[in-house]
């Protein structure tokens, strides 16, 4: 029953993914600007991944051809995998914080100071800030919930791509 919705309205499913990304980004802005939580470098990378997922899902939702739907959904799987990887890495740092929790530079400071090939590994390594849990909901941190959302959106895009590939037209 539920999977038939993917066949009947793939563009609507992609629009819902876009709306979910926008809602998550808005909530992140709320936590930053109203609650006062400063994002760590890994949080910022997850935000960029959300922006890319929202843009690709939105553009794909506007497509009417089957090939565009399959290609866009495949790209969404890749982008959601990237976001899920960063969220999983941050969750790991939160569960097993480094012995020396030294605060590192922020994302912009890393990019301005170091060449990109040195800055990117530093971002994914995380710092003391990335292992800090400032906010929880139902026992999960922001990184935990981000991982769940990225996996859910990635699985949705995967099912959508597979269902579109099987349908004749």
Domain layout of the chain by residue ranges: 4-166
**8, 40, 95, 107, 159 from 45: Cα distances, Å:** 34, 9, 19, 9, 25
Percent helix, strand, coil in the chain, to 5, is 75, 0, 25
Q: Which residues contact 36 (CB under 8 A, 6 or more apart)?
A: none
pLDDT exceeds 50 at position 153:
yes
Q: Which residues contact 32 (CB under 8 A, 6 or more apart)?
A: 38, 39
| Residue 2 confidence (pLDDT) | 47
Q: How far apart are CA 116 and CA 100, in angstroms?
A: 25
99-149 pLDDT tens trace: 655 445 555 566 666 676 666 665 555 444 666 667 656 866 777 888 898
The CATH architecture one would assign to domain 4-166 is: Up-down Bundle (1.20)
pLDDT exceeds 60 at position 7:
no
Q: Quick one: CA dihedral 13, 26, 91, 120, positive or negative?
A: positive
Span 30-56, average pLDDT: 83
Q: Which residues contact 49 (CB under 8 A, 6 or more apart)?
A: 79, 80, 82, 83, 86, 150
| Residue 164 confidence (pLDDT) | 78
Please give the mean pLDDT across all residues of the chain.
76
Q: Which residues contact 2 (CB under 8 A, 6 or more apart)?
A: none
């Amino acid at each position: 029953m539920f999977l038939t919705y993917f066949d009947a309205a793939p563009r609507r499913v992609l629009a819902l993914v876009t709306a979910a990304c926008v809602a998550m980004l808005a909530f992140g802005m709320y936590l930053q600007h109203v609650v006062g939580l400063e994002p760590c470098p890994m949080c910022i990378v997850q935000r960029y991944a959300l922006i890319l997922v929202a843009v690709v899902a939105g553009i794909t939702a506007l497509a009417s051809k089957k090939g565009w739907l399959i290609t866009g959904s495949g790209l969404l799987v890749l982008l959601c995998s990237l976001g899920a990887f960063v969220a999983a890495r941050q969750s790991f740092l939160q569960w097993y914080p480094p012995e020396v929790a030294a605060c590192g530079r922020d994302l912009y400071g890393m990019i301005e100071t170091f060449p990109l090939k040195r800055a990117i590994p530093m971002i994914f390594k995380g710092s003391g800030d990335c292992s800090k849990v400032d906010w929880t909901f139902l026992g999960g941190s922001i990184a935990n919930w981000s991982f769940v959302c990225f996996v859910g959106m990635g699985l949705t895009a995967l099912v959508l791509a597979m269902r579109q590939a099987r349908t004749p037209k």
